């Protein structure tokens, strides 16, 4: 089935999808194109965290998202700290964390059907140059939702390890990969049933 998340009622859930998508796009541009320092990255992260309670989403939801993504963020931070510098590690990891938290906030406060409808409407003019609005909008919406889905799979693998009292280590990638590929097959079947792809 196509991944979806329970809609969290609140201020942001009442904001139309268009402005939310525009806000996410502008934030991504601002975070990637403009030069940042350690302090500005900290301010950006604080602003993203503040958006959760302002939008009616518990702050704990942001902390849960960070916990789910901890493996990815830790690998990124350690690699950059070792090969570049601790400052670069903080800035790049903070930037990635802020953008992932914003994407998670969007999916928590937006119905998938509404997101698809707006994306298709925005992409419709590109049909004249050979772009399929339905396929592209589905790909974008799936991308926004797949990070927490895969993070959830990773959590299930860790829970299974604890329940069995074993540590798979690197071998834990195998069940995670199997679960992700199985999920991809289910999503592919759902897309085929909708005539997408």
Query: How do residues 77-104 score in pLDDT, each as one tens digit?
Result: 999 999 999 999 999 999 999 988 998 8
Q: Per-residue confidence at 194, pLDDT binned at 50, 70, 90?
A: low
The first and second tokens of residue 182, run together, are 């199985």
**pLDDT tens-digit map of 12-29:** 778 888 888 888 889 888
Q: What is the DSSP letter of 15?
A: S
Residue-level pLDDT at 172 = 63
Burial class (CB in 10 A: 0-12, 13-18, 19+), 25: exposed
Highest-confidence segment of 64-73, 91-100, 132-141: 91-100
DSSP result, 27-38: HHHHHHHS---H
Angle at CA of residue 55, ends 51 and 48, nearest 5°:
15
Considering 25-34, 94-103, 148-157, the range whose residues carry the highest mean pLDDT is 94-103
How far apart (Å, rounded) are the C-alpha atoms in residues 108 and 64?
A: 12
């Amino acid at each position: 089935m196509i991944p979806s998340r329970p809609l969290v009622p609140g201020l942001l859930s009442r904001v139309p999808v268009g402005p939310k998508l525009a806000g996410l796009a502008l934030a991504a541009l601002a975070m990637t194109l403009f030069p940042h320092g350690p302090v500005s990255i900290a301010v950006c992260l604080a602003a993203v965290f503040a958006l959760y309670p302002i939008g009616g989403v518990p702050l704990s939801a942001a902390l849960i998202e960070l916990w789910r993504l901890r493996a990815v963020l830790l690998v990124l931070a350690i690699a950059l700290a070792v090969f570049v510098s601790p400052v670069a590690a903080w800035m790049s990891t903070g930037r990635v964390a802020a953008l992932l938290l914003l994407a998670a906030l969007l999916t928590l406060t937006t119905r998938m059907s509404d997101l698809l409808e707006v994306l298709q409407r925005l992409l419709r003019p590109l049909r004249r140059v050979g772009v399929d609005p339905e396929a592209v909008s589905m790909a974008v919406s799936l991308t926004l939702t797949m990070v927490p889905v895969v993070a959830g799979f990773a959590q299930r693998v860790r829970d299974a390890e604890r329940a069995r009292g074993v540590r798979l280590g690197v071998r834990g990638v195998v069940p995670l990969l199997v679960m992700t590929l199985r999920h991809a097959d289910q999503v592919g079947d759902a897309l085929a049933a909708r005539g997408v792809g």
